[in-house]
Amino acid sequence: MTQPPRSPRPSSPSRPTRAPKHSAPLWQLLQLTATVVQAVRAGRSLTSQIEAVPKDLRPGVQSLAFQVMRQWGRAIALREQLASKAPPPAADALLCTALALCWQDAAAPYPVHTLVNQAVEAARQQRTTQAQSGFINACLRRFMREREALVAQTDANPQAVWNHPLWWIERLQAEYPAQWQSLLQMAQLPPPMSLRVNPRHHSVAQYQAQLLALGMPAKAVGATGLQLDKAVPVHQLPGFAEGHVSVQDAAAQVAAPLLLQGREADKPWRILDACAAPGGKTGHLLACYPQARVLALDVDASRCQRIDQNLQRLGVQAEVRAADAAQPASWWDGESFDAILLDAPCTASGIVRRHPDVRWLRRPTDSEQLGQIQAQLLQALWPLLAPGGRLLYCTCSVFRSEGDETLQAFLQRNTNAQLLPSPGHLIPGHVPTGLPVMDNALGEHDGFYYALLEKDRA
């Protein structure tokens, strides 16, 4: 394995945003953050754990938890230097939370001495960590005294340097020998907030002017997208509740216009959105093809409610059904589809900057297993496509086993499938060339994979 450069601590080009102001003491926020982190270490989603935090404290906890997850590799390595044997889970989560937040002065959301004092107070205030409060205090005081030497010792650990599991680092090195470092560095940065303007209400230029008048400058990306200079809560976006705009990454905005590119937009196409929740691409399909008859599926009934909510906000209609796309016998009526969008389940390795816990939740075997599920979905849905119809296979992953490898295996098994010009793997930080959609300057975007297939008419 290629050795990483020594301690690329300045790799974050800008200082992280300070945690939001709050009424609760910092020790309580640290306590809640450590509880969230402990749950993630037990295999639970960061998003679901943050949603369980009291609403008034949620912004502060989310800000801290995201930073902790982005620095978790370094935090674990430092804790191993301070204590070779891990303390009980609650104490370990709190100690590592403090180390993740304070190992760099420039990136610390609060002064380091304040973080240390409040972390010790958090240990004292909680029943599950009271017995280890002295241990946590001793570790953090030693860390403050010996910080430079301890950090230097962890610089030989790739997981500490890159803040990703070793298997993830090695996979990117093998699959992207020229870009693996930039991919890992990009994953550490907060993602941009990208919007998709609803052409039924405004042109991109008109909405851009509205934003500028409200002190929210944005640049155009893609055909109908804008990227804000600074993220804002969605309720501050003019006309958001009325469906004038949606939040959607620039790479995700490629799907709908690519699916039936070059064909008449106002025909009553029958379209299947096979894994539709939360409904962003469903809404975009109906914006691109307003006369289409869209069936939106998701295996989770509660997630189908989110599809309905999104479509209602946009003022469009689709048939939404809770069903397993891989089992067409349970939901298909026998009428072929003109187009199918398969945004397949994946590791989410392309959107790790938006979900920094993903890298710590995934296992080395997950990508191959999810690639097999994607292959099953492709094989199950292909017979539902009409002759001459198109299927767009996409994932928000940068791993080859959830993209090119799955596609090539499918093409070998299905000789009536033709691969049309497609983006393939869209890599964060690299503007693609030759993307077969108009206005392809995506700007900063997530990692995605796209393959557009057409079925022979014979």
| Backbone dihedral region for residue 388 (phi beyond 0: left; psi -120 to 50: alpha; all else: beta) | left
In three-state form (DSSP H/G/I as H, E/B as E, the rest C), the secondary structure along 184-214 is HHHCCCCCCCEEEECCCCCCHHHHHHHHHHC
∠ CA 290-293-296, nearest 5°, is: 105
Tell me how far apart the alpha carbons of residues 393 and 259 are, in angstroms, rounded to a whole number.
10
CA distances from 216 to 207, 226, 230, 236, 245 (A): 11, 11, 7, 10, 14
**Of 341, 449, 451, which Cα lies nearest the Cα of 398?**
449
Q: Which residues are registered as beta bridge partners of 454?
A: 390, 418
* Structural contact between residues 217 and 211, judged by C-beta atoms closer than 8 angstroms: yes
**Of 439, 192, 435, 385, which Cα lies nearest the Cα of 271?**
385
Residues involved in catalysis: 396
Structure tokens at 450: 């796209």
DSSP string across 371-423 = HHHHHHHHHHHGGGEEEEEEEEEEES---GGGTHHHHHHHHHH-TTEEEPS--
* Structural contact between residues 282 and 229, judged by C-beta atoms closer than 8 angstroms: no
**Of 124, 122, 80, 118, which Cα lies nearest the Cα of 102?**
118
**Inter-axis angle of helices 112-125 and 89-102, nearest 10:** 170
**Of 365, 328, 362, 364, which Cα lies nearest the Cα of 348?**
362
Tell me how far apart the alpha carbons of residues 290 and 235 are, in angstroms, rounded to a whole number.
26
Residue type, 320: V
**Of 21, 57, 17, 53, which Cα lies nearest the Cα of 37?**
53
Tell me how far apart the alpha carbons of residues 408 and 199 are, in angstroms, rounded to a whole number.
36
DSSP alpha helices (H): ranges in 105-220?
112-125, 133-154, 158-162, 166-175, 180-186, 204-213
**Of 257, 176, 220, 203, which Cα lies nearest the Cα of 442?**
220
Q: Which residue has the tokens 């609650």?
A: 90
